[in-house]
Amino acid sequence: MTICYLLDAVVSEKEQGIKMTFFNPSENKWKEVLDTEYRPYFFIPYPTPKDDLKIVQKLKLRTKLVEKTDLFSRKTVKLTRVELNDLSDPFQTSKKFSKSWEKDVSIVSSYMYDKNLFFGAQYRINGKEIIPLAGVSQEDLEDFRKSFLEIIRADPEKYKLSKRMFILCSQSVPEVNLERVGIRNKIDSEELYSMFMLARLANISISSTYRSRQVSVWIKSIFHNYLRQNNILIPTAEELRRGEEVHSIQGALTLSPEPGVHLNTVVVDFDSMYPSLIDSYNLSHETIDCADEQCQSNKVPGLDHCVCTKRRGVYSILIGSLKDLRIYWFKPRSRDKALTAEKRSLAGSTSHLLKLILVSSYGVVIRIHGISRSSLGESITAYGRYSLKSAYKIAKEKGLHPIYGDTDSLFLENPTEKEIGWLIKTVKKQLKLDLSVEVRYTLCVLPEAAKAYFGIKRDGTYDIKGLTAIKSNSPNFICNVFEDCIKELTTVKTKSELIEAKHKIEAIVQNAIEDLIAGKIPMEDLEYSVIVHDDLKEKLNGKSLHQPYQCAVQIVDSGQKVKKGDKMHFVKVNPFLYQRRRFTVKPTEHVRRFSEINVRDYIRNLRTALNQTFKPMNITFSDQNKSKKTLFDFI
């Protein structure tokens, strides 16, 4: 059996048809199929208003009475389908009518949805007949079914969609040169695989997957495709908003940190929090403030909105199925040692792609025209705040020690494995959300300010958030001192070890400063490396000249060329006059004596860099603080 992959489709005005491009890998041949019967269309009200009827007659358009399902009422509605005579843009024609639907859907997308075709998928071609192929083994289908047993029972509609996407994503990806579809750059195998996965999930052409980086376009296509597949009328942007004005939305919750140094801190995260909330709490455009009186009591926490309890929301099904596909199939397979390295890598690529779509599932409903609804967005964040607050309360009432919470993360000080397991099970039972251990810190520092912490993992690596520590262009001198200080904290497990580490850190910094003053630091370790992004001539016209450009001027004057994008290598020196300007740096190779180095500036920069990280621990590196008591004085 010959397998062909659908890679592209375009509107051929010359041939007045939809031209599809297929690739046959077994013969390394391309095949085109032309459909000249399809015509673009849109919908107008039925019965057709008199003025609209006149336009139909004047333009000699074909009309047809059709029945569609209304997304919000789920009732059958009658509409007039207006079909164009050629392959011109339906949007332009639709503007002549008083009201219309689905004119925004592109002709190619509309064709794919109606014909139940998917870009990147496998087909058999018999003349003009295009026959879809499964392309997945019975063994994989059975493994998939076993992984989704709970979902099959609880949410068959969501499982059905997950299974369809699984079958598409499980099909093989051919080796193909994409120049035929307009991609001339070389594509590696992993990128090609990701392009095919995106084409199948979002139903966009292979060339679009290469050029489009707008996740909102992908999500909108997934949304529209599902509605068409289920004969649901795609609402207008105004209908989706339900008359709501766009307004600012309260964001995520941050719980005040318990400042100080915390040993054996475990951070638990809600898995894919916003997508999980959309799924678990049935959050969708049509389920927020539905018309059913029985649902009015199912209030969104902290808001006046209610959520439908009688029917499943479309957006909830879509995002939930993508989330399940990632969590229960592709993510586990990316870590499954029983699979080959190649299969794990490909599963990881698909998992990453799904995560990219899921991460955007909240943002699109508050920002993107044609899929946004403010009350849906604020309901998602409201459930997010409620979930974090509830998890914190559950942990505290059980006797665990939660010390900080931010958006989807909860920090616990010194919990036992049994306590962590209990919390995960309880949150799942009470909130219908999955918690998992994200990271374990042997030592975690929380300042008084939220959105900032410093933690050292068991393997000695560290995380810094909200604290400006070492910059990418910092000299080795500062980086090395910082790393040496961190190293002293990696073995800390008790308070006494913490006090000892503090003294060692202070000694490290003091020794580094003494070595600097004595001129023992190699010149190359004092070097800054910064890229110049602006034209040097333009910068010279300004009042001040930043240090990288001071370096560039001196290099040009020495006979070398400097252009935008070049990296400048310089050291900080004692101020001097150069071309009637006050310069504070020199190119590294221009420095002749260590006495030129601005030692005081390096000491100040070192202390600033270290204080950003260690000050929240009440370790400071300045002469003025010698007499000030710190947290360590009370340990």
Q: How do residues 35-72 score in pLDDT, each as one tens digit?
A: 999 999 999 999 999 999 999 999 999 999 999 999 99
What are the structure tokens assigned to 612, written together? Answer: 């950003």
pLDDT of residue 633: 35
Chain Cα centroid distance, residue 618: 35
Instruction: Answer whether 407's CB lies under 8 Å from 384's CB.
Output: yes
> Who contacts 201 (Cβ-Cβ below 8 Å, separation ≥6)?
165, 168, 169, 218, 222, 322, 353, 354, 357
Helix, strand, or coil (residue 292):
coil
Report the chain's C-alpha Rg in angstroms: 31
pLDDT digits (tens, 9 = 90+) for 548-584: 999 999 999 999 999 999 999 999 999 999 988 999 9
Instruction: Give me the torsion for CA of 49, 52, 53, 57, rounded to 10°.
Output: 180
Which residues in the chain show pLDDT less than 70? Answer: 468-469, 622-635
* Domains annotated on the chain, with CATH: 4-133+171-235 (3.30.342.10), 254-309+372-457 (3.90.1600.10), 468-519+604-634 (no CATH), 523-596 (3.40.1820)
Phi, psi of 580 (to 5 degrees): 65, 20
What is d(CA 216, CA 222) in angstroms, rounded to the nearest whole number? Answer: 10
- Best CA proximity match to 266, nearest among 452, 421, 142: 421
For residue 462, the Cα-to-chain-centroid distance in whole angstroms is 23
- What's residue 469's pLDDT? 64
d(CA 37, CA 320): 36
Determine which helix (DSSP H) or strand (DSSP E) holds 443, and give its type and residue range: strand 435-446
pLDDT of amino acid 142: 96
**Backbone phi, psi, residue 48, to 5°:** -70, 125
Query: Helix or strand or coil: residue 94?
Result: helix
Q: For residue 283, which amino acid is it? A: L
For the stretch 101-114, pLDDT in tens is 999 999 999 999 99
Long-range contacts of 231-235 (CB under 8 A, 24+ apart): 231/67, 231/68, 231/69, 232/68, 232/69, 232/70, 232/71, 232/314, 233/43, 233/68, 233/69, 233/70, 233/71, 233/77, 233/79, 233/101, 233/102, 234/101, 234/102, 234/105, 235/71, 235/72, 235/101, 235/285
Task: State the pLDDT at residue 627.
Answer: 42
| CA 562, 568, 569, 575 torsion-angle sign | positive
Helices and strands in the chain: count of H runs, count of E runs:
22, 18
Distances (CA, A) of 268 to 22, 251, 434, 447: 47, 20, 10, 19
pLDDT at res. 447: 86
